[in-house]
Each structure stands twice: as structure tokens, then as C-alpha cells.
Amino acid sequence: MNDRDFVKNALEGGDAEVQLGQLAQQKSQSDDVKQFAQKMVQDHTQMDDRLMKPLAKQLGVNPPKNLSKKDRQLMAKLESLSGAQFDDEYIRAMMKDHRQDLKDFKSEAQMTQDPNVKQAVQQGETVISQHLQMIEQIAQSHNVDTSGKSKGQPSM
């Protein structure tokens, strides 16, 4: 992945985190999930505004106008759920997403030759790593297995 593709994907992902966080603030029944969702909105808005948008401008990347197809599908799935089901699915989605983002950011930090990109990516990596730790702790307290299955429920 080149720097331009990475920045475009990071902006797309940031937008999704903000919109999903807003949805979770409305639909979650758990204070810890709501607090995490609020942090997603704040941190990803700041990360985009301070790091990714200036980088996009520098690299000539147009910020995405819409969510990716994958993120739109996730949004639709979450909108159809409520209560504990919503919380479990949101927690799983955030764990999966932040694990992938962390891999992508680490990979980009190693690959890029641009010192501005490298610096922004390393700052972003720190934030994403903190988010992953937080959501894994929330998953434990909600008994959401990190493999993606709920504990105590029969598998289908």
C-alpha cells in the first residue's frame, strides 16, 4: 500500500469510527460502551483533523465522502440491533477493526519513506493501541470472547 492509499483508508476508517461511535452512544445500554464510543468520536475526530487531513492535503488525497461498503454494512447491522446484542456486536466490531488498524499502521510506519507520514502514523498507532486495550477490557467485562463468540451461548 502506498502512502496515498494508506491515508485515504485511514480517513475512511476514522470516519467510520466516528459514525459508529455516535450510533453506540445512542443505542448502547452500558456506560462503559458509551464512554468508549464517546472516546472514539473524540479521538478519531482529533486524529483526522490533526494528522490525517493535513497529510491528505499534502499528498493530494481527497477525503472520502461516504463510508466504505464494508462500513455501511456494519452500520446497517448495528442499527438493526438493540440492548446487549448491540453492545456485543459493537465490541466485537471494534476489537476486529482496531486489531486490523494496528497492523496497517505498523506496516505503514515501516514502509513509508516520507518522514511526515511516518510521524503521523506513529502517533496514530499509539492512539489505536490504547483503543484496542480499552475495548479488550470492555469485552472481558461483558464476557465477549475475543475470538468473536459470546461465552455461555451455544454456538450455532
In a domain, 149, yes or no: no
User: Could you tell me if 146 and 136 are in contact, meaning their C-beta atoms sit under 8 angstroms apart?
Assistant: yes
List the one residue out of 40, 139, 132 whose CA is nearest residue 91. 139
In a domain, 153, yes or no: no
How many domains, the chain? 1
List the one residue out of 78, 98, 81 whose CA is nearest residue 36. 98
Whether pTM exceeds 0.85: yes
Tell me the HSE value of 100 on the side-chain side, using a 13 A CA sphere.
10
Q: Which domain holds residue 74?
A: 3-141
In a domain, 92, yes or no: yes
In a domain, 114, yes or no: yes
In a domain, 151, yes or no: no
pLDDT tens-digit profile, the chain (156 residues): 699 999 999 999 999 999 999 999 999 999 999 999 999 999 999 999 999 999 999 999 998 899 999 999 999 999 999 999 999 999 999 999 999 999 999 999 999 999 999 999 999 999 999 999 999 999 999 999 876 444 444 333
Question: Domain holding 65: CATH number?
Answer: 1.20.1260.10
In a domain, 152, yes or no: no
